[in-house]
Amino acid sequence: MGQSDTRTRIQGAATVLFRRNGYSATGLKRIAAEADAPFGSIYHFFPGGKQQLAETTIRTSGAEYGRMVLALLDSVPDPVESLVHAFEAAADDLAAADYADACPIGTVALEVASSNEVLRVATAEVFEEWVGTATRWFGRWVAEPKTAHSLAYSMIMMLEGAFMLSRAARDPKPLRVAGRSMAELLRAATTQRS
């Protein structure tokens, strides 16, 4: 256990730091210190260095976060209420975390988009996975697959944008507004309009 435990602590510390401060601003020495692990252990478990560690955290925390959001959406029966509730929960969590822990991959995604192909592809695949999951969720209430797909994209984009504005302003309001807008979008998609 001692061995894989070190690896777990390293990956956990990396996930937290990349999420809060991004890829470039996070040093491997800092990760080792936060993980209470010797510096060399990073290269033992992640021979590919910083990039491999980041790719691992992106894919792992990305999948985890997707499951968490889906579970949150499934915890309320009515889909419109569920959207409002999920964004409210995200707002509360973000405020409780002092506006530090939002999307685990958002900051890194923007940072590496034009500078690191390996990490860019990793973030793109995580987003794609989220869109697929969300499309299936919306598909339970929306007839047109294309509409479900658009709603899924919109939900993730609205969430990412809301995280950005809420963190910058240190204010949960953007996330709450985003939730109500997504509810409105779903209502519009399921309601006949004159």
Q: State the residues that interact with DNA by CB under 7 A.
A: 2-3, 6, 26-30, 37-41, 43-44, 49-51
Distance of alpha carbon 114 from alpha carbon 132, whole angstroms: 24
Cα gap 143→162, rounded to integer Å: 27
Q: How far is the CB of 7 from its own copies (least distance, A)?
A: 26
Residue partners of 109: CB distance under 8 A and separation at least 6: 120, 123, 127
d(CA 166, CA 173): 7
Does the footprint of its own copies cover residue 160 (CB under 8 A)? Answer: yes
From the list DNA, its own copies, none, which binds 187 (C-beta under 5 to 8 Å, kind-based)?
A: its own copies
Instruction: Look at residue 57 and give the partner it binds from its own copies, DNA, none, a contact being a CB closer than 5 to 8 Å depending on partner kind.
Output: none
**Out of its own copies, DNA, none, which partner does residue 8 contact, by CB within 5 to 8 A per kind?**
none
Report the site for its own copies in 118-147 (rule: CB under 8 A).
Answer: 120, 123-124, 127-128
- Whole-number Å distance between alpha carbons of 101 and 106: 11
**Rounded least distance, CB 71 to its own copies, Å:** 21
Alpha carbons 122 and 193: distance in angstroms, whole number = 40
